[in-house]
Amino acid sequence: MTRLGISVEGATEREFVSRVLRPHLAAVGVTVTAIDLRGNVSLDKVRGVLPALLGGFDRVSTFYDFYGFKGRDARNIDQLEAAIAELVDAQRRTRLIPYVQSYEFEALLFGAPQQAVDLMGGSAAQLAEMQLAVRQAGSPERVNDSFETSPSHRIKGYFAGYDKKLHGPEIVALAGLAAIRGECPRFDAWVTKLEQLG
């Protein structure tokens, strides 16, 4: 079994890794532990945790939101992942799989609008709004990162009772990982890399 540590942004990502990703990867021979950074993710904060993670696991990955990543400056998402890789020396870098979610965890929920509406007791109008947001953006992973229209702000606008930690992972679990991966190719590529560790 490959021991994989995933450094996650916060409680929502931790719950997703524990409830959805861990059992999926266990089936291919990868044991997963989520390590919670408790928000305020920055390159400096990541630099501080990577050495211990690389010392404690066979392989290490990250699962941070692009939206809200502190000090990302003008970097795009691929450049930010490259910057994370550069935080460790070349020898250990081969054991690191940096991943930054476009634009945040809630983008995945736009890949499962029916399940979101069902779980949250929403309406046909809310389902139509989620579907329209995806059509306008071109994919769930492109629902943008401005303060008013980021995926999490949209979800909270649709569903007043939405709780990130509770409902986010549950919606993904209801939809099934395969369905989310089918709608979110960047996320799918990351999960594929993790599967290949088994």
Alpha carbons 140 and 130: distance in angstroms, whole number: 9
CB atoms within 10 A of CB 123: 11
pLDDT (0 to 100) of residue 163: 96
Structural contact between residues 1 and 30, judged by C-beta atoms closer than 8 angstroms: yes
Alpha carbons 31 and 198: distance in angstroms, whole number: 9
The length of the chain, given as a count of residues: 198
Question: CA 14: distance to chain centroid?
Answer: 10
pLDDT (0 to 100) of residue 39: 94
- pTM here is 0.96
pLDDT (0 to 100) of residue 146: 81
What is 2-103+185-195's CATH number, 2.60.120, 3.40.50, 1.10.760, 3.30.460?
A: 3.40.50
Tokens of 23: 């059992």
Mean pLDDT of the chain: 96
pLDDT tens per residue across span 83-128: 999 999 999 999 999 999 999 999 999 999 999 999 999 999 999 9
pLDDT (0 to 100) of residue 147: 82
- All CATH 3.40.50 domain ranges of the chain, comma separated, are 2-103+185-195
Tell me which residues of the chain have a pLDDT lower than 50: none
Instruction: Say what the alpha-carbon torsion angle 185, 144, 158, 135 is, to the nearest 10 degrees.
Output: -60
Structural contact between residues 187 and 180, judged by C-beta atoms closer than 8 angstroms: yes
Tokens of 140: 């769930």
Alpha carbons 78 and 40: distance in angstroms, whole number: 20
Alpha carbons 128 and 153: distance in angstroms, whole number: 17
pLDDT (0 to 100) of residue 145: 66
**Closest to 56 measured CA to CA, from 35, 40, 37:** 35
The three-point CA angle 132-160-137 to 5° equals 20
**Closest to 190 measured CA to CA, from 67, 17, 26:** 17
